[in-house]
Structure 1
C-alpha cells in the first residue's frame, strides 16, 4: 500500500483515518469497526464490501 495514498484515504462512513493491515490486505476503521478490502492493490471503499471486526480482531491489531 502506497504511503501517500494511505495518508489521503479516510473512512467513507465517519471520515476518520484508516490503518493498513498488511497481513489481511485491508484498511481498518477502528471507529466503525470495519475492514475495507484491498483487491489488486486497489482499496475497495464501499460500505457494502466492508466486513465488521470482532472485539478480538480489534484487540489483536493493537491500534
Structure 2
C-alpha cells in the first residue's frame, strides 16, 4: 500500500475520531497546560494512531 494512501487513511481516521469526540462532548474540562504541552499531546496521539494503522494495514501485502 503506498505511503500517501496510508497517510490519507490515517488523517481521515484521526478526523473521524476527533469529530466523534467533539460531537459527544458536552462538558468542558479546563486543564492548566501550556500550548507546547497540548501540541506534544496532539503529536503523540497522532503517532499512536498512525502506528496502529500501520500495524493493521502495513502487514497485509
TM-score (norm 1): 0.20
Q: Which has the higher contact order (CA 8 A, sep 6+)?
A: 2
Q: Which has the higher strand share?
A: 1
Give the structure with higher Rg (CA).
2
